[in-house]
Chains A and B, each alone.
Chain A
Amino acid sequence: MTSASVATRPAKPRANWGARALIVLAVVVTIVGGIAIQFDLRPLLFDGGRGWFIVSEFLDPNWAFLLRTIDPWLVTFSIAVLATAAGSVIALVVSMFASMVTARNRVVYQVTKAVMSVLRSLPDIAWGLLFVAFVGVGPLAGILALIFFNVGIVAKLTAETIDAVELGPLEAADAAGASGLQRAFAAVVPQILPNYLSYVMYTFELNVRASVVIGIVGGGGIGSTIIVELARFNYDNLSAIIILLFVIVFLIDIASRWIRKRLIG
């Protein structure tokens, strides 16, 4: 009688066996992986000796040591700046070949894409090891390693932005008889500039951390100091360095947000 107002209960969603199978698979992989790496949290509770002693050393940082690390910090910062600058300029050019909007040749496009994914598959330290072997220990190895590390990242992000540009200006440039280079500069760059700059800032933040890490394998800067202090078991000095790293990363984060706002907003 009142059937008009009685809503039938919606059907229960069907169980998704594919998703459940994936979850089971994920659990199995986790267990197998856990066995492979000998997962064991007992040291956390029962290793009363060495480990906790080191952690307690970390809780008592030697601030005076920081005065002697000013130079390596400047080197680390400079490595990050120079690698970001060189890497992002190269990446801007490369990205033009990695988007179908600007690359007119399919083969060039495919090859660029493939090279980029090879560049991105190597972690920062692997690049560090390679360039330390190529040009010797020091900041130059760090800069070169970061450039290669950056080009893959920035070019990929920028190419994806180029894929989404408005095609009107490109057609206008073509109609006015622009060359490939003129078209890129007049029609594409202005559209992607805000995004591109924010990728550059993002890479810079990444590079400050990565240049610390690359220093550990011989890329110069504060990473080299870290590895020396570690070898001497000076955990109180290390602690001061790492706390300062926190502060610096935090400040750069704020600065980069401010610059991005000024440039884009």
Chain B
Amino acid sequence: MSATATKLNPLPMARPVAPSKAKYLWAEFGGLVLIVLCVYAVNAKWERLLEAPAAIANYIPLMLSGVLQNPFEQPITEYWTTSFDFMMQSLAMAWVGTVIGAMLSLPVGFLAATNVAPAPVVFVARQILNGIRAVPDVILAIVIMVPIFGLGPLAGTLAIGIGSIGTLGKLTSEAIEGIDKGPVEALRASGAGPVQVLRWGVWPQVAPEIVAFWLYRFEVNIRASAILGVVGAGGIGSLLSRVFNMRDWERIGIALVVIIVVTIIVDQISGAIRHRIISGSSKTSTPVAM
């Protein structure tokens, strides 16, 4: 190889030095050590792993038997309708929670953007957002919402709402920081006040992106709302933990299928709307007044 290369090229070329692999080797070594330590620390009953395939092979047909039975016969019809009702409650929780999160994250997002708010305000707003992002929704529900609002979907909805502020506020502030300065300067030059600058210079630029974030968060929140019931905060999770406690495999199967199907359908619709908002209409390029 190198001989022919030299023949073709009058200048003798040395083969470039291979890049050092030390960095990757160290990373791999560190990773392996970490894994071994964790296997030791976790102290799991690994022997159960061998029983798992048999258990799964045993339970999955049981779950499917509920799904595959004639749905127009009692009590199967009732299983389906109950699961569906609870799932609708979860959807309502996810939607209202997202709306609450969106409304509250908007002002915080503006305050966390360096090109809108002064530095000390930005710092405080960002710490609030980081703090919220660190707590899982479920913890928020257990710790604050269920004690104050009691068991039920309201507690779950508020947990979702407050929990959404963290990510939405962060994404909103990043979107605002990425705007084109032109329109803002034009507005200032024509004598607009700060509120007018935000409304007509900043908001139109970021609105599509932010609305897309809201829809994305709605998709995330559907999953959150499906689990909050496990701690008594409403939605299909309460049904799920009940049927799991009873090991009622037929109803477990039906509830899981309802969750999967409804989640995928709503994801598809929401995803399609997001794409439409971000990429705009294919027919016309007229700006949209929102």
Q: Which residues of A contact B (CB under 8 A)?
A: 13-16, 19, 22-23, 26, 29-30, 32-34, 36-40, 43-44, 47, 50-52, 54-55, 58, 74-75, 77-79, 81-82, 85, 117-118, 121-126, 129-130, 132-136, 138-140, 143-144, 209-210, 212-213, 216-217, 220, 226, 230, 238-239, 242, 245-246, 249-250, 262-263
Contact = CB atoms under 8 A, between A and B. Distances in A.
22 contacts: A14-B286, A36-B88, A36-B153, A44-B149, A51-B148, A75-B41, A75-B42, A81-B35, A121-B264, A125-B138, A125-B237, A126-B259, A135-B48, A138-B44, A140-B45, A213-B138, A220-B42, A226-B139, A242-B143, A245-B134, A249-B134, A262-B23
Interface string B1-38: 00000000000000000000001000100010011011
A129 B96 contact: no
A82 B39 contact: yes
B286 A136 contact: no
Nearest to B50: A135
B139 A212 contact: yes
B234 interface: yes
A30 B240 contact: no
Given A78-B39, A262-B23, A44 B148 contact: yes
Interface string B89-102: 10111011001000
Nearest to A249: B134
Nearest to B98: A30
Interface in B104-139: 130-131, 134-136, 138-139
A55 B27 contact: no
Contact of A33 (B96, B136, B138, B289): B96
Contacts of A242: 135, 139, 143
Given A216-B138, A238-B143, A37 B148 contact: no
Contacts of A126: 226-227, 240, 256, 259
Interface stretch (B51-59, B71-79, B184-192): B51-59
B236 to A, nearest CB: 9
A99 B39 CA distance: 33
Contacts of A245: 134-135, 139
B95 A140 contact: no
* Interface SS of chain B: helix
A51 B149 contact: yes
Interface string B250-278: 00100010011001100100000100000
B290 interface: yes
A135 B49 contact: yes
Contacts of A26: 99
A252 to B, nearest CB: 10
Contact of A58 (B37, B138, B143, B224): B143
B150 A43 contact: yes
* Interface SS of chain A: helix
A51 B147 contact: yes
Most chain B C-beta atoms within 10 Å of own C-beta, residue among A75, A121, A129: A121
B288 interface: yes
Contacts of A47: 148
A140 B230 contact: no
B149 A33 contact: no
Nearest to B243: A129
Nearest to B32: A85
A243 B203 CA distance: 36
Contact of A123 (B142, B226, B234, B267): B226
Most chain B C-beta atoms within 10 Å of own C-beta, residue among A37, A39, A55: A37
A15 B289 contact: yes
B152 interface: yes
Contacts of B46: 140
Closest 5 CB pairs of A and B: A51-B148, A78-B38, A33-B92, A125-B227, A78-B42
A212 B136 CA distance: 9
Contacts of B259: 121-123, 126
Given A43-B150, A140-B45, A242-B135, A81 B286 contact: no
Contacts of A220: 42, 44
Given A33-B96, A37-B89, A55 B147 contact: yes
Contacts of B99: 26, 30
A162 B184 CA distance: 38
A62 B59 CA distance: 43
Most chain A C-beta atoms within 10 Å of own C-beta, residue among B59, B138, B237, B260: B138
Contacts of A58: 143-144
Most chain A C-beta atoms within 10 Å of own C-beta, residue among B37, B38, B46, B260: B38
